[in-house]
Amino acid sequence: MNNRRKSKKIFVGGVAVGGDAPISIQSMTSTPTKDIASTVKEIIRLQDAGCDIVRVGVLDLESARAISDIKKEVKIPIVADIHFDYRLAIEAVKAGADGLRLNPGNIRNKENIRKVVFACKEKGIPIRVGVNAGSIDRKKYPYVTPGALVDSAWEHIRILEEMDFTDIKVSLKASDVNVMIEAYRMFASQCEYPLHLGVTEAGTYKESMVKSSIGIGSLLYDGIGDTIRVSVTGDVVEEVEIAKLILRSLGLRKEGIEIISCPTCARKEFDVESVVKELEEKTKGFKKYLKVAVMGCVVNGPGEAKEADLGIVAGKNEAILLEKGRVIRKVDKAKIIDLLIDKIKERM
Ligand code: SF4
């Protein structure tokens, strides 16, 4: 991985974003925010899954005011997502929002923007300027190019800077992975504002997993990005699961059981797929990081399992338990998963 881009550190509630802070994971609730009980339930599922910051849509005053009650029930910071109406922004700040996602240019009236900026300054909360294909002014920028996204972001940012407000993070999302990567790269070279990465409208689980891994993953690999949001058409918890896998694959967050398993071939001596699925199921939610290998035969298995903390390899009549590639025990194949899980638990 390349060196991390130098970025300004800001705080969303108690979560640092930018500078040397760990890359944080964000998501957004799918419930009406004024339905406090459902929104709290969803945020608790997100925080239990490993989400660090959550955004809620603020469509009306009731939703803005609901933030105050929601905050009493959850641990992670809440960002209020506002479009156009400055009164909703001010009400969300009053209700205790830890951040706003708002494009000041959409409010238009300078005096009203000033009121929002004043409220944010007073409470010390940041604003995310979030541009995407849907939000840019199509009269001015008929095509969604990286340059259009970057220029549009600067228009919003300059309004805030003119009011001496720099507690800002920025996103430049597009559903086209190439455009998104180029836009972030371009913007990253121009300033030190922390960046919120995401591929927007990325589709359902499988489609989003691929697009987000390529888009978010390649930027993070280049050292660009401070916080990420994977967008999935589906259960919100899936967003956090994919985000955690992206970070773990790049060595940016070491958490949970990473299973490396062979694709199997004619040499396999047990059903690797069902063993891995059982292992995944039984170790779900384990917090400590451990790399575990599951290999289908003794031909290449032990060599490939060397990099893992623990591994199992199938032999003809029995299975072998390995520790850092060293043989620890040979047992009946039927007993190997239980033995492996006992060994994993010993390390938790
Ligand atoms: Fe085939 Fe064995 Fe390699 Fe698995 S470990 S892919 S079974 S050679």
List the single range of 56-60, 105-109, 181-185 with lowest mean pLDDT: 105-109
Percentage with pLDDT > 90 across the chain: 85
pLDDT band at 315 (very low <50, low <70, confident <90, very high): confident
Using one digit for the tens of pLDDT, what is the confidence trace for 207-260? Answer: 999 999 999 999 999 999 999 999 999 999 999 999 999 999 999 999 999 999
pLDDT per position as a tens digit, 266-288: 999 989 999 999 999 999 889 89
pLDDT reading at 134 higher than 90: no
Query: Which one is the CATH code of 257-347: 3.40.605.10, 3.30.413.10, 3.30.450.20, 3.40.470.10?
Result: 3.30.413.10
* 64-111: pLDDT as tens digits: 999 999 999 999 999 999 998 999 999 999 999 999 999 988 888 999
**Could you tell me if the CB of 303 is within 6 A of ligand 1?**
no
- Looking at residue 105, its pLDDT comes to 82
Which atom of ligand 1 lies closest to the CA of 265?
Answer: 1
Residue 303 confidence (pLDDT):
80
Whose C-alpha lies nearest to ligand 1, atom 3? 300
Locate CATH 3.20.20.20 in the chain: 10-249
CA distances from 298 to 268, 272, 304 (A): 9, 13, 10
Separation of CA 204 and ligand 1 centre (Å) = 32
Q: Which fold is adopted by the domain 10-249?
A: TIM Barrel (3.20.20)
Residues of the chain with CATH 3.30.413.10: 257-347
Residues 6+ positions from 336 with CB-CB distance below 8 Å: 275, 312, 319, 321
Band of pLDDT at residue 292, cut at 50, 70 and 90: very high
What pLDDT shows up at residue 225?
98
CA 251 to centroid of ligand 1, rounded, Å: 26
Phi and psi for 319 in degrees, rounded to 5?
A: -115, 155
In this prediction, residue 302 carries a pLDDT of 77
What pLDDT was estimated at residue 305?
Answer: 80
Going from the Cα of 276 to the center of ligand 1, the distance in angstroms, rounded, reads 14
The pLDDT > 70 percentage for the chain reads 100
Residue nearest to atom 8 of ligand 1 (CA): 300
How confident is the model at residue 316, as a pLDDT? 84
Query: Predicted confidence band at 22 (pLDDT cuts at 50, 70, 90)?
Result: very high
Ligand 1 atom at minimum distance from 298 CA = 2
In terms of pLDDT, which residue wins out, 299 or 281?
281
Mean pLDDT of the chain: 94
Stated pTM of the model:
0.93
